[in-house]
Structure formats: structure tokens, C-alpha cells
Amino acid sequence: LRALLEQGPDARLADVLARTAALTGGADDLRAPLRRLKGELHLLTALADLGGLWSLDQVTGALSRFADISSRAALAAVAHDQRERGKLISAADDKRGPVPGLFGLAMGKHGADELNYSSDIDISLFWEPEVLTAALAEGVEPQRFVDRLAHAFATLMQERTGDGYVFRVDLRLRPDPSSTPPVVAVPFALTYYEGVGQNWERAAFIKARAMLGDPREGKAFLKALIPFIWRRSLDYPAILDIQSIKRQIHVHKTGEGLEAAGANLKLGRGGIREIEFFAQTQQLILGGRDPKLRTPRTVDALAALRDAGHITDQVCEELTAAYIELRGLEHRIQMLDDEQTHSLPLDPVRRAAVGALAGQGDLAAFDASVEALLVGVNGRYGELFEGEEELSSPYGSLVFTGVENDPETLATLARMGFSEPAKVADAIRSWHHGRIPATRTARGRELFTRLAPRLLTALADTQAADDAFPRFAVFFAGLNAGVQVQALFLAQPKLFELVVGVMAFAPRLARTLGRYPAALDSMLDARFSRELEEETGVADQMLAEAAATPDFEAAMNVVRRIHRDQMFRIGLQILTGRAGPEAAGKALTTLADAAMAALAPAALAEAVRQGGALPGGRVAVVALGKAGSREMRASSDLDLMTVYDAPPDAVSADKGWAAGVFWSRFTQRLIAALSAHTAEGGLYEVDMRLRPGAAKGPVSLRLSA
């Protein structure tokens, strides 16, 4: 403290940074010195900040520079340990860093030199296979080596000891972090960003800089990503998708509900994130053609947008002033307990302490100034892309960008009736990542960005969100491609609402859609919405299409496809109240009759193929039980018996089967045709026990008996 008073904060900062850069040795050698130097850095920064000696830029710059230098020292230390063990054979090199081919990008606030007092440092680690492999001893597996090195690096930085910690390290801002190792190979990363990289990842790279490890490979990697980050040409759907980063946040135009107590100054309404998104979305749209907009720092981006004529002087001044004030308040919140929090305390005593650190001794005046600040930012944010489709929900914000769950979004999902909001958010984020066929293409992901809020809102409106979402997830994951289906849902909201209703209230129909997503096509047929009594062509269709198939199994499958579509149609008519129990029972029975009529000739053909034709024979299939009384339900089985007539001495042409044997074979084939499960599913369970002498008698009965 004496040295700070004697030398001033700038000189003390230079001294702390120089001593940090001069550290040498392994991880054990640096563990305590790094933490003590961090303590010195925090003290002098806080005093210079509270004393008004440093601006916000100087405060965040000091924290960011120390993060850079301490990270480099930590990586050098763990690399030193690997050299001692004989696994890393190359010497440390200023041109290549401590581990040739391994590099880290500073991301987020760290990348833009905007760190808070209690910020994590976001670092994305990558390795260039050819360069790194040459630096390792023979037999050392590169991926395992870099992953262990990353673990040792993170431990050295964030492990809490008696001296505290240096920085918490977050390595998740990498391609698909839930399924990739902590250090990603460059070829895979480039393929990922080119193929399925999302707009929020493009926005994240606005602030990226090569900070750690091999500087040559880091700069080359960022250069290779320029076409991904800064697209020179964007079609309208792509522009809308970029705008979605902003439009997912729910904006209350009146500013109601914005209170100082408990306000999240980073992620909440009117907070820092809204200012950052305000700048970044416009940078992504315009920066491909205007390199002057490609600046990582938020206040610089606002100034660049103003200079280019995209925002007014007043908007720039308001948001810049708000950003500086919000960041200052964020720092003072974190000074209380050195915790990574961004919310003003609910407790008035603790909130008053934050106000006092900010130079405001009156709590009521402090609260009023904060609320006015939040209302102003939220209002300006609402003006951006005004008139475009909102991608939030009446229930609140629905933000699925980034690698962690947005607290406002989790609160929205809870209000929607989801008992496990985090699981729902994880699923939606994985779909945005292109992990299912429906969202594997850029167009599929663009459509899903628009569909997701409608889906979640519709599920919530059913008041059965917990039941409906898993069923929809099965259906959505089963789509071979999603562009046409998602475009259909967006173009026909009534159809989409009907599908959501199926997921919520009709488990049997939902299972049908989940197993056979193509059943959705039947809903587009003009006949689908006809009254059940009006549909007369199904039996003829089944009979004709089954007759045109080349074999028995093909006939079974074509009948199953038509039957499934019709069962789905009848089920929806019941669900929507268009068909009552009597009409539904008749329709279900008529459908069963049609299936039997279409498959009986195929079963007969099979019996003839196996045993030869039977001269003079005829057969009747008799429906009993609910099928006989035309009162079937969707879950009904078929109670059947077959009755035949034939000359007493009739035998089949090839095998010489007696009539009883021949018609029993026919009956067995018919039962199989109706009950067997094929690739297209099954039709009915068949029960033959209501025939005379069922326990011991023949399967098929002679008429005279």
C-alpha cells in the first residue's frame, strides 16, 4: 500500500506485470506467487478505481493484461513439467510459444480487454496436428497430451489454496463443447465452423484474439475464420437469423418490472448484454463489407456504428454512457465478496453498500438512477430491428445462445410449466447445434430459430408441457430432414397447433408420429379433414395397391401405410371433437374391414403358392365381438373365425392338401398378415378363441360342421 501511495497506480501495475512475466519453473513453483501477485493486482486496481484515478478502460485493461501474462506464465509452467518428464522435446520459443502448435484464444470480455474483478477467463484451446506432433517425444499421443496439459493449466489457474486463486478458467467456448475434448484440433474446428457454426459463435469471435501459446498458429487460425465471422454477402434469411440473437430477448416497451432490487446488470433486461447484442448483431450484418466495424470492444463498436451512419449520435452517447455505468456498478457488486455475480442485492443494506461504493449514499436515489438506466437501455434495445418477428414469448425471453443456460430463459421455461427447464434448454441448444438431421443444414437451423419460440409457447399453452415436449423431441429427432417440415409448421400455424395438441393429449398418435414422421404427410391430403362418414375410397385404395405389389410382404407393408394414415386421421378427428364415439367406432371397423379385404387375397395367394390351388373351394372371414358389432376402438383387437366350403374330395393341386389343411394355411397367413410387425409396424392383434371348439378344433371350420 505504501508503494502504491509513493509510486502511483501506473508504476505499481507495471511492477506487478513485470514480476508476473518473470516467473519461471514448474506448476508447483508458480502456484503461490501467481496468487499473491493477483492479490496485489486486485488491491491496486480497486483503490485506483474507487479513488477515481483510473477510468473503466484502465481498470478492465489492467485486469485483462494480468490475465494474459498470468495465463502465459501458467502454460509455460505446465509445459516445463512435461519437458521434465520427457514428453515434450521441443524447447520454448518466442515464435512458437512453450508448446509449438498449441494455442489459446482469449474470448469474451478477456478477448476485448474488458475483464471484471471476478470474471472467468474464457479461453478456447486448439492444436495444429503437424506442428505439435513434431514437438512431442515418440509414442506420445497428441490429443491425450494436450488434454492433460489443459487440465494442468486450468488447475494451476483456478485451484483455491490458502493464497486464493488466479482466475477461474472456462474452456467451453469451443466447437460443440459437450462432445469434444477440451483442446480441439484445428482441422476439425475449421470444418465445424464452416459447416454448423452458429451466429452466436460468430459474435463470440468478434472479441477473439490470439493470446496464449503458439502465436503463429493462433493468428493463422483467426485469419482462416474471417470468412466465417465476417460474411461479405448475406441473404435475407441469414440476416433474420443474425437478428434473432437480439429478438430472442423479450422487450417490455413500457419498461414495467424493471426494478433495482435483484436486477441482473449483465443478463437482465436493460443490462450489459443488451448493449453488447445491440452492437454485435449490427457488426455481424454490416462488418463483412465494412472492416471498420470489426472492433472487439463494445464502446468502440458503438462509435464505429455511429461514424458509419448506422446509429445516431444520441443513441451512441446514451448506450456508451449506460455501458460504462453498468460496468462500474458490476465491479462494485463484485467488490463485496469477490464473487462472480452481476445482480444487485435484494437486501437493502447490501444494496446500499453497492450504492456507497458507486458514490451514492441515498438508497432511494440510487435505486431510482439504476431503474432509469435499465429502462433507457431496454427502450433503445427494443428499437433495434423493430417491426421484425419477435423470437421471444409472451412468457418471457427465450435465449439459447452460448454454452450455458441463460437464467432469464430458465425462468421463462419454468413459467411455461416445464418442471426441468435446464433439460429443455439443453435439448433446444443441441438442436441449434445441428445434432439432429432436421437442423443439420444452415437453412434448417435458420428455420428452427423461428420455430423454437412458437413451439415452446404452444407447448406451454397446452398446460401439459412436460408430457408434450419429450414426445415432440422423439418426432423431431426422427425427421430425415427438417427444412420442409419446419417451413410447413411456420406457414400453417393451425397445423402446427394440431401437432402440438397430439403431443400433449394423444400419446398413441404421438407415438405414431414419433415412429413414422411421414404420417405427417397424410395431414396434407385433401381427404384428411373430411367427415369420417364421407370417406369411401380407402377400401378400394387398399385393395388396388395391395394387388399391385410383387409379394406377400410388400402387400402387408402397403396396407399398413394406408392403415396408419387412416388411424391417424380418425384419431385426430376424435381428438378435435369432430367425431363422436359412434362415428369413430364405425370408421375404425370400416378400416379393419378394408384391411382384411385387401390382405385376404394376398393370404390366399400365399396358400396357393405353397400348396397349389384348391378346386371348388370358398371361404368367409367372420368378424365377432366389437368388430362384428361395428363398435371398435383404436386399441381393439380382431375377434375372427374363418368358415370354408369345398367338395369332400377336393385336394390342392401341388401338395395334395385336403380342404381343411388348405384353408387352415390360408387362415394362418391371414393372421400373420394382420398381426405381424414389419418395418411399417403392425395392424391388429387377432383372437380366434371365439370359434366353436377353439381349444382343440381346427383353425378354419367347414361350413357343414
Distances (CA, A) of 603 to 222, 562, 599, 650: 67, 18, 6, 20
Kindly state whether residue 169 falls inside one of the protein's structural domains: yes
Look up the domain containing 41 and give its range.
2-174
Q: Which of 174, 208, 232 is the last residue of a domain?
A: 174
Look at residue 486 and tell me if it is in a domain. no
DSSP for 452-481?
A: HHHHHHHHHHTT-HHHHHHHHHHHHHT-S-
Q: Is the residue at 305 inside a domain?
A: no
Q: In the prediction, which pLDDT does 248 show?
A: 64
Q: What pLDDT score does 387 carry? A: 63
Each residue's pLDDT tens digit, 181-202: 999 999 999 999 998 888 889 9
Looking at the domain assignment, is residue 411 inside a domain? no
Residue 178 vs residue 219, higher pLDDT: 219
Q: Is residue 210 part of a domain?
A: no
Q: Which three cell numbers stand for residue 669?
A: 397367413
Q: What digits encode the pLDDT tens for the residues 559-570? A: 999 999 889 888
For residue 315, is it within any domain? no
pLDDT per residue over 594-612, tens digit each? 999 999 999 999 999 999 9
Helix (H, G, I), strand (E, B) or coil at 417: coil
pLDDT digits (tens, 9 = 90+) for 401-441: 878 888 888 999 999 999 999 999 999 999 988 889 999 98
8-state DSSP, 503? H
**Band of pLDDT at residue 252, cut at 50, 70 and 90:** low
Instruction: Evaluate whether residue 506 is within a structural domain.
Output: no
Q: How many domains does the chain have?
A: 2
**Residue 254: is its pLDDT beyond 50?**
no
* 59 falls within a domain: yes
Confidence of residue 582 (pLDDT cuts 50, 70, 90): confident
DSSP for 214-275, please give it: -HHHHHHHHHHTHHHHS-S---HHHHHHHHHHHHTS---TT-TT--STT-BTTTSTTSHHHH
pLDDT at residue 256 above 60? no
Place of cell 381346427: 698
* pLDDT over 70, % of the chain: 94
Q: What's the confidence (pLDDT) of residue 535? A: 62
Where does residue 305 rank: exposed (0-12), middle (13-18), buried (19+ CB within 10 A)? buried
Give mean pLDDT, residues 272-289. Answer: 91
pLDDT of res. 451: 93
Give the span between the Cα atoms of 278 and 162, in whole angstroms: 42
**Residue 67: which H helix or E strand, with range?**
helix 56-84
The CATH number linked to 690 is: 3.30.460.10
Among 174, 192, 219, identify where a domain stops. 174
Final residue of a structural domain among 141, 174, 207: 174
